[in-house]
Chains A and B, each alone.
Chain A
């Protein structure tokens, strides 16, 4: 009887200890509800495609080879490894190279960070036209590329072979510089064909 009482007491003490530890180390609650949206203050935007073209480090068409999640503090990001299919701008990049492109959002070990509605995660099998800039040197992270203007510098290739804005937030911006955007996509398509031939 005494033995079972002491076991019970020990169990209660251990349980209490665990609960105290848990509350001490759990700094914040994690919301259990579904995230219905994400809003951002984007760093830099462009008024025209011409301006974006000028500021881009590279402009390529490409397709995802593979992607992997990357946890940074409390958020999950996705590092896309993209095969370069054609190069519109960028002297130190060639067709067949693979570049790394970071996007916010992803899933790692059951933890999901929702991607922006303005810029969903890129899909495999889809070809994209990408206006990119290189991340500045950082002590914490290796170099990689990012999409210009947050969501502005990406368009997906349609079945008909033309490129269209990935999100509605981008379409007006491209419409406003339709001629220049069309010229870039035509040149990109031409470059791809030449590579194939």
Chain B
């Protein structure tokens, strides 16, 4: 009888722990409301990036773009087809603009299905002194590709995410922390919820 009471207590404690654990899990990064209706997306990273900024930067961008392949998002294939791409990545010196990278979303407004996305990375400003910090370019590419897959910004205080609105909140290239370059649990939850 005592044993069964003990077992019941243990089971109750385990259930309580599970309940607390589930209620304190990370919040979900917001979604933008559109999605890909395909299993693979073709990404054209402009080869001029390699010419202008070097192979290390070019490869870092590709690495950031494809980090989402570990999630349920469509598989990103790096393509050299400059006509038939789903995602185009370009990088220029736009001057100081207040942003480090942007993504333009071309979406069918009737179905919310993505047509294509255009990512523009800005190499101007303080970042120009951190060209050799390949983590920065990987992080920016990963952030923007998250948007292209339909993820919005994560504004939950204290939560680790590649989709924080401000670059310094996921990759602080000046002060060295944080140094996030890949999707974090709230980002993955968001993407897996979309796909």
Contacts and interface: CB of A to CB of B under 8 A. Distances in A.
Interface of A: 27-29, 31, 33-45, 72-75, 77, 102, 104, 114, 135-136, 138, 140-141, 146-147, 149-150
Contact of A42 (B34, B90, B99, B106): B99
B85 A102 contact: no
Contact of A41 (B44, B95, B96, B166): B166
B116 interface: yes
20 contacts: A31-B106, A33-B106, A33-B115, A36-B107, A37-B105, A39-B105, A40-B102, A40-B103, A41-B143, A42-B98, A42-B100, A43-B125, A43-B166, A45-B166, A102-B96, A136-B125, A136-B126, A141-B95, A146-B97, A150-B166
Contacts, number: 127
B98 A150 contact: yes
Contacts of A146: 96-98
Number of chain B interface residues as a range = 35 or more
A41 B34 contact: no
Interface string B68-90: 00000000000000111100101
B127 to A, nearest CB: 8
A43 B172 CA distance: 10
A135 B52 CA distance: 23
B63 interface: no
Contacts of A141: 95-96
Contacts of B124: 138, 140
B92 interface: yes
A72 B82 CA distance: 21
B16 to A, nearest CB: 34
A40 B105 CA distance: 11
B108 A45 contact: no
B183 interface: no
